[in-house]
Amino acid sequence: MKDYAPHIIKEGNLEFHLGRLEGSRVNYDFEKIWQYLLVKGKMLFGERFHLYEVDREVIYKLCLYMIKDAASCKKVGLDVNKGILLTGPVGCGKTSLMRLVKHIVPHVRSYEVIPTRNIVFAFNHIGYDTIQQFGNSKFFCLDDLGVEPTGRYFGKDCNVIGEVLLSRYELFLNHQVRTHATTNLNAKELEVHYGNRVRSRMRQLFNLVAFDKKSRDKRR
């Protein structure tokens, strides 16, 4: 197609070339993607936004995944058919990066970043329809996995996000619908919060991409 140019992104009067189009395939340039993410990040989050060299490996992996470079993803241990579970300490930039990196592929169906606590609050108001709503075929990134409160509807407690994850797992198996998530918790803490059954499903749902445990709080 003559006008097919997924590697060229326009932001107002600016035009960013993230690589070269070779036939129907884009040969992406990570340094050009990095520069675009810096600009787009400032547009989304304000002039204080910054990308840190210490996070380059994490950002590189996320970009490889977003552009669906299957061969390079395989080299760094990522399966393009699974979702991303981005882990790291509080304030290291997980949510901002998941909101940001999807913009490098505007031609690809995107996902909505939803705080898990908001899903639980919705459950508390309208009940089990909430689980069905977030267990549908839309693409979601479940933000702050594992720190949400227990849901309660008509006096009955429910591990809402655990149930949503089980629904998302069925969608993944039957319809290849991917789910992403961010969390401050480690594998053991997630298992305590959701139970072994959900934790087992999460291994099949997600690729693990992790910030260094010593990553500083960038919000300070």
Q: Supply 101's token pair.
A: 């990196």
Task: Check if the beta carbon of residue 124 is closer than 8 Å to that of residue 153.
Answer: yes
- To the nearest 10 degrees (0 to 180), the angle between helices 116-126 and 160-175 is 110
Question: Any idea where the domains of the chain sit in the sequence?
Answer: 8-210
Task: Check if the beta carbon of residue 87 is closer than 8 Å to that of residue 210.
Answer: yes
| DSSP type of residue 150 | P
**Residues of the chain whose pLDDT is less than 50?**
1
Dist. CA 114–CA 95, nearest whole Å: 10
Q: Which residue is it, tokens 């319809």?
A: 175
| DSSP type of residue 197 | H
Query: What's the confidence (pLDDT) of residue 3?
Result: 64
Task: Check if the beta carbon of residue 171 is closer than 8 Å to that of residue 143.
Answer: no
Query: What's the confidence (pLDDT) of residue 4?
Result: 65
Pairs from 147-150 (Cβ < 8 Å, separation ≥ 24) = 147/116, 147/117, 147/183, 147/184, 147/185, 148/115, 148/116, 148/117, 148/119, 148/120, 149/117, 149/120, 150/120
Classified by CATH at the fold level, domain 8-210 comes out as Rossmann fold (3.40.50)
Query: What's the confidence (pLDDT) of residue 1?
Result: 44
Strands 179-183 and 140-143: parallel
Query: What's the confidence (pLDDT) of residue 161?
Result: 95
Task: Check if the beta carbon of residue 207 is closer than 8 Å to that of residue 84.
Answer: yes
Dist. CA 44–CA 100, nearest whole Å: 8
Dist. CA 52–CA 198, nearest whole Å: 33
Dist. CA 79–CA 65, nearest whole Å: 8
Strands 8-11 and 14-17: antiparallel
Closest of 115, 176, 178 to residue 147, by C-alpha: 115
